[in-house]
Chains A and B, each alone.
Chain A
Amino acid sequence: MPQRVHFAQPLTLKSGAVLPGFELTFETYGTLNGEHSNAVLVCHALSGSHHVAGQYADDPENIGWWDNLVGPGKPLDTRKFFVVGVNNLGGCHGSTGPLSVNPETGKRYGADFPMVTVEDWVAAQARLADHLGIHTWAAVIGGSLGGMQALAWSLQFPDRIRHAMVIASAPKLSAQNIAFNEVARQAIISDPDFHGGYYADHGIIPTRGLRLARMVGHITYLSDSQMAEKFGRQLRHGEHKFSYDVDFEIESYLRYQGNKFAGFFDANTYLMMTKALDYFDPAYEYDGSLAAALARAKASFFVASFSTDWRFAPVRSREIVFALLHNRLHVVYAEIDCDAGHDSFLLDDGHYHALLAAYLENIVV
C-alpha cells in the first residue's frame, strides 16, 4: 500500500527556488534486512509512479508499472531485496506537485510550482532514504528518465549507491529529443484550457493538449518495425472513409493512448518532467566532458540498451559506458535485440530479464 512522508525541512532546488517542505508518496516491497544493505530504489520515467509492483485489494486492475521485474522469484527478487518505489517530487500520483495546495496561498500551485530537475528528484529521494534508515542503496535502477536518476545518484551521492542500473537511457538529450519534448509542451501550452497553468482554478483540464502530447511521445516510444507489425496500414472500417475520423488502426491506437493519459496525468507535471529531461546533462558543468563528470562516481554500473530504440539509441548508452571506462569503474553493458523500441525496457523479454536477474543475483547484500 502507498505510504506518505512529510519533510518539513526546506529543499533548495537546482533552479535556486526553495520548496518550504514537501511530501513523497512511496511503496515498499520485501523486507529491509538487519544491516540495511538490501535496499533497491526503482526510479520511474515520465508516466510512472511509486506503484512499481503488485496490485491493490480495492483496485485489482491497477497493476504496478514494472510488475514483471519486481516480486518474489522475479529478477528484482523481493525475497532478497527491499524494493522502494517513489512518486517523484512534482509528480501527480500523491507526492507534492502542481496539483498540491500551496501553503502560502491556500490555492493549488499550478504554474507556480517550481521547476524540478533530475538532481532535485535525487535529493528528495535521499531524504526518503534517510527516513527509511537506508544509508546506502544496494542498487538504484531505472529505465529512460529513471536511468538518468540512477546515473545522477552515482554522482550526487557516490557513497550511497553500490550499483547503478541505467537502462534505455542517455547521458543527455539530443536536439531531436528536445524537439519532440517541445512539440509536446506546445500542444499543452497552446490548449485554451491550459490557462497559463492555472487550469485547476478554472475547474478544467487541458485535455486536448495532453492528448496530443502523449500521442507525439508515444510515437517515439515505439519502433518503426513494431508499429508496422502491430498496425501496418490496417483499416478500422475495412475501406477508406475519406474523412478525418479514424481510418487507420494506428490513428485509433494513438487516440486511445492519448485519451487514457489525459484522464489521469497532470499537464503541469508533464511539462515539468519533459523539462527535467531536457536539462539533464551531468557533463554541462564539466565543459561537456562526461568522463570528467563521472570522475566522482564510485558505483558499479549495469548499462543496457535496445537495438530498435531510436529515442535513446544504443550509441547514447555507449557514451555512458566509455565515460565509465575512462574512470576505471566496473561496468557491464548489454545491447539487447528487442523489437519494441524505447518501451522495450518495460517488457519481460527473456534475454533482457536473464541479464537483469544475473546481475542482481551477484549483488551481495
Chain B
Amino acid sequence: MTEHERRVRAEQRERFDFAVIASWIPPGERVLDLGCGDGRLLRYLSETRDVSGYGVEIDHESVLGCIRNGVDVIQMDIECGLSGFEDNSFDHVVISQALQTMRATERILTEMLRVAAEAVVSFPNFAYRTNRVAIAEGHMPVSEDLPYDWFDTPNVRFFTIFDFEDLCSRLGIEIRERLAFDETGREVSHDPNLNGSLAFYRLGRKF
C-alpha cells in the first residue's frame, strides 16, 4: 500500500467507526467524548446528528486540533476520573479506541456511567485471529486496529472481548448492544472474540 492508499484506507475506516457510533446516538443529544483527539468524531456527530458535545483530551497538539476544528474541548487527564463533571450531565459518553491507552480502566468505566446514562466504548480486540497467529508465531501483533510496534505503542491495556465483558459484569455494567467487525470492516456474528478485530459496545447501568 502506498502512503496515499494507506491514508484513504484510514479515513474510510474512521468514517466507518464514526458511523457505527453515530448510529447509537439519537439526534440532538449531549455527548462527552473522552480521548477525543482533534475532535473529529464530535465534529462528525455535530454535522450528522446535530449533537452538542465536549471533548476531553490530554495531548497538547490534539487540543489545538480541536480548537481548529471548532470543537469544545477540555484539557485534562481522565486517569484521575471525571470529577468536576456532574452526574447525568450527558446523554452519552463515548470513548472511541482510547480505553486501551489508559490505566484506570475500572474507574473510567464507572465514571462514564455516572456522568451519562449510556456509554459507548470501542476497542481493538486482542484475541482477534491474526493477533493470535502473531503471538503463536512469537511476536506481538501489529494489525489494522493495533497499528503500533510493541516499543512505541500508546496502548497500556491489552484485553479481549471476553475480558471486557467479564469486567462489565463485575462492575455491574449492562451490555445493551455489541457489534464486532473484522479487519475489512465486515460485521462479525460468529465467535466475535476470534473473528472480531474491533468491538463496539453500548453500555448502561445495572447499579
User: Which of B81-89, B142-150, B177-185 lines the interface with chain A?
Assistant: B81-89
| Residue pair B67, A358 in contact (C-beta under 8 Å) | yes
B190 beta carbon closer than 8 Å to chain A: no
| Residue pair A351, B60 in contact (C-beta under 8 Å) | yes
| Residue pair A354, B64 in contact (C-beta under 8 Å) | yes
Choose among A321, A326, A336, A354 the residue that contacts B74 (Cβ–Cβ < 8 A).
A321
Known: A325-B85, A325-B89, A326-B86. A332 touches B76 (CB 8 A): no
Give the docked Cα–Cα distance between A361 and B66 (Å): 13
B109: chain A residues at CB < 8 Å are none
B66: chain A residues at CB < 8 Å are 332
Known: A322-B84, A325-B89, A328-B52. A333 touches B74 (CB 8 A): yes
| Residue pair B75, A333 in contact (C-beta under 8 Å) | yes
B73 beta carbon closer than 8 Å to chain A: yes
* Complex: chain B residue closest to A315, CB-CB: B84
Give the docked Cα–Cα distance between A351 and B62 (Å): 11
Give the docked Cα–Cα distance between A78 and B60 (Å): 27
What distance in Å separates the Cβ of B183 from its nearest Cβ neighbour in chain A? 35
B68 beta carbon closer than 8 Å to chain A: yes
| Residue pair A331, B74 in contact (C-beta under 8 Å) | yes
Interface bracket on B? 20 to 34
- Which secondary structure dominates chain B's binding surface? mixed
B50: chain A residues at CB < 8 Å are none
A335 beta carbon closer than 8 Å to chain B: yes
B111 beta carbon closer than 8 Å to chain A: no
B30: chain A residues at CB < 8 Å are 328
B70 beta carbon closer than 8 Å to chain A: yes
| Residue pair A335, B67 in contact (C-beta under 8 Å) | no
Central interface residue in B64, B70, B75, by most chain A CB within 10 Å:
B75
| Residue pair A335, B72 in contact (C-beta under 8 Å) | no
Give the docked Cα–Cα distance between A250 and B134 (Å): 60
A359 beta carbon closer than 8 Å to chain B: yes
Query: What would 21 A/B residue contacts be, using CB atoms closer than 8 Å?
Result: A318-B76, A321-B74, A321-B84, A325-B74, A325-B84, A325-B85, A325-B86, A325-B89, A326-B89, A332-B74, A333-B73, A334-B60, A334-B67, A337-B60, A354-B64, A355-B64, A358-B64, A358-B68, A362-B67, A362-B68, A362-B70
Given contacts A331-B74, A351-B64, 16 further A-B contacts (CB under 8 A): A321-B74, A322-B84, A325-B54, A326-B89, A328-B30, A332-B66, A332-B71, A333-B76, A334-B67, A335-B76, A337-B60, A354-B64, A355-B63, A358-B68, A359-B67, A362-B68
Q: Pick the 4 closest A-B CB pairs, nearest first.
A: A358-B67, A322-B84, A333-B74, A335-B75
